[in-house]
Structure 1
Amino acid sequence: MSDKSSLVPAWAGTAPDADALFVMAETALATMPDVFKPHLTGVVIAIEEFADDEVLGSLGIEHPYDLTGLYEGRPLTERSIGESGGMPDRVTLYRIPILVEWIEGGERLDWLVRHVLIHEIGHHFGFSDEDMHALEDMA
Structure 2
Amino acid sequence: MPLEVSRSRFEDLVEDALAGLPPEVEAMLDNVAVMVTDGHPGDPLGRYEGVPRTARGDYGLMEMPDRITIYRVPLCAHARDEDDLVREVRITVVHELGHHLGIDDDRLHELGYG
1:111 to 87, 91, 97: 87
Q: Distance in 1 between matches of 2:92 and 2:6?
A: 17
The answer to whether the Cα contact below 8 Å between 2:29 and 2:101 also exists between their aligned partners in 1 is: no
Does structure 1 residue 76 correspond to structure 2 residue 53? yes
Counterpart Cα distance in 1 of 2:48 and 2:18: 14
Aligned-pair distance for 1:86? 1.4
Aligned counterpart, 2:77:
100
Displacement after TM superposition at 1:132 (Å): 2.3
2:67 pairs, out of 77, 90, 104, with 90
Matched position secondary structure for 1:40: coil
Structure holding more helix per residue: 1
**Aligned pairs, number:** 109
Aligned partner of 2:8 in structure 1 is 19
> What amino acid maps onto 1:93 in structure 2?
I
Question: Which of structures 1 and 2 has the larger relative contact order (alpha carbons within 8 angstroms, sep 6+)?
Answer: 2
CA contact (8 A) 1:65 1:100 kept: no
Q: Please list the CA deviations of residues 15-60 of structure 1 after superposition, one character each: whole Å capped at 9, or x if unmatched.
A: 2222212211111112222221122254211111116xxxxxxxxx
Rg (Cα) greater in structure: 1
The code of the aligned residue for 1:126 comes to G
Q: Which amino acid aligns with 1:23?
A: D
**Structure 2 unaligned runs (5+)?**
none
Output the amino acid matched with 2:90.
R
CA-based RMSD of the aligned residues comes to 2.4
Aligned with 1:99: secondary structure? helix
Corresponding residue SS for 2:27: helix
The runs of 4+ residues in structure 1 deviating greater than 3 Å are none
TM-score (norm 2): 0.80
The unaligned stretches of length 5 or more in structure 1 are 1-13, 52-63
